[in-house]
């Protein structure tokens, strides 16, 4: 089968064997925001066309591809949800020479105060990681919009989102905070740690952000470390606000996972990285649940 993780900014495709092992892969900067309406079938054919003659199996796609800006909008599934419910709710699109592609629906819930929460793609990663997670887990998926997900008996119970990655990007690129340095890289560990520690102090994030400026101006944080300090500050605020009640399993890109595990340790929260590639594994599990993982 073919598994595709198709998000806002990236496209990642995997050719899988019947056990979910990865036979081949390709990726491109062809996220859904780069594709015009009506163009998804063509982009998919261009990217994975070379596999199609030898690969008669199904194509399963997860991520923002199922949103209003994607190929076909699928309604969110309400929590709690498990693998079988997600598999049953997959939508289909007609595609290449009569072949269908399956699109995985997103998931929604309400936070403790009734405010809506949504995800598209992370549910598939959690399903793909479930053997490593175990039946009960608290999962952090860091990124543009970081998620904290509570899993019980292999079901996604509820989750919360923090806009950490996007806030970092726009503040660094568009506010006064990025003016003292050219280096957006987060690679200064002492500065990162100082940011995480700062997040424990009083008077809130909006006050702490101004301190990124003044500690730069007063040269208390070196200019090349300011992005690291800002990153640590934001991630620290995220972790302390999320206040996970159990050891955390972190699913994400290797660099970001390492950074988050460092921040969790500094905040006194036990955390472990999840290895492997949960997105194709989750798509394979969904296909298998539908009897389509050939």
241 binds a second copy (CB under 8 A): yes
Contacts of 233 (CB under 8 A, 6+ apart): 195, 196, 198, 199, 205, 208, 209, 212
Complex with a second copy: residue 85 or 118, whichever CB lies closer? 118
Which range of residues in 56-64, 91-99, 206-214, 273-281 is near a second copy by CB under 8 A? 206-214
DSSP letter at 81? Answer: B
Are 199 and 212 in contact by the 8 Å Cβ rule? The answer is no
Measured CA to CA, the distance from residue 142 to residue 128 in angstroms comes to: 16
Long-range Cβ contacts of 132-137 (<8 Å, 24+ apart): 132/249, 132/274, 132/275, 132/276, 133/249, 133/274, 137/246, 137/249
Complex with a second copy: residue 30 or 162, whichever CB lies closer? 162
One of 4, 242, 248, 250 touching a second copy (CB under 8 A): 242
Complex with a second copy: residue 167 or 285, whichever CB lies closer? 167
Nearest distance in Å: CB 18, a second copy: 38
What is the token pair recorded at 155? 């079901």
- Residues numbered 172-201 forming contacts with a second copy, rule: CB under 8 A: 173-176, 198, 201
If you write DSSP's letter for every residue of 258-281 in order, what string do you get?
HHHHHHHHHTT--EEE--S-HHHH
- Residues numbered 95-134 forming contacts with a second copy, rule: CB under 8 A: 111-113, 115-118
One of 45, 52, 93, 171 touching a second copy (CB under 8 A): 171
- Binding interface with a second copy (CB under 8 A): 111-113, 115-118, 145-146, 160-164, 166-167, 170-171, 173-176, 198, 201-211, 213-215, 217-218, 220, 234, 237-238, 240-243
């Amino acid at each position: 089968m073919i598994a595709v993780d198709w998000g806002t900014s990236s496209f990642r495709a995997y050719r899988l064997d019947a056990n979910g092992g990865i036979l081949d892969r390709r990726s491109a900067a062809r996220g859904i925001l780069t594709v015009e309406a009506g163009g998804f079938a063509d982009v998919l054919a261009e990217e994975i066309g070379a596999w199609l003659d030898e690969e008669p199996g199904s194509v399963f796609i997860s991520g923002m591809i199922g949103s209003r800006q994607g190929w076909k909008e699928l309604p969110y599934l309400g929590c709690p949800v498990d693998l079988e419910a997600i598999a049953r709710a997959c939508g289909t699109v007609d595609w290449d020479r009569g072949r269908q592609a399956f699109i995985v629906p997103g998931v929604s819930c309400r936070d403790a105060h009734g405010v809506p929460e949504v995800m598209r793609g992370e549910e598939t990663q959690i399903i793909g990681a479930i053997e490593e997670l175990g039946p009960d887990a608290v999962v952090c998926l860091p990124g543009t919009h970081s998620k904290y997900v509570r899993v019980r008996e292999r079901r996604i119970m509820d989750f919360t989102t923090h806009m950490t990655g996007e806030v970092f990007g726009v503040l660094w690129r568009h506010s006064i905070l990025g003016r003292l340095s050219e280096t957006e890289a987060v690679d200064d560990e002492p500065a990162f740690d100082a940011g995480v520690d700062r997040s424990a102090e009083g008077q809130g994030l909006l006050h702490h952000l101004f301190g990124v400026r003044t500690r730069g101006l007063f040269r208390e944080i070196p200019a090349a470390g300011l992005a690291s300090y800002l990153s640590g500050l934001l991630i620290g605020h995220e972790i302390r606000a999320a206040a996970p009640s159990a050891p955390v399993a972190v699913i994400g890109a290797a660099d970001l996972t390492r950074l988050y595990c460092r921040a969790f340790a500094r905040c006194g929260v036990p955390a472990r990285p999840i290895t492997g590639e949960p997105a194709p594994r989750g798509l394979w599990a969904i296909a298998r649940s539908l009897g389509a993982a050939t």
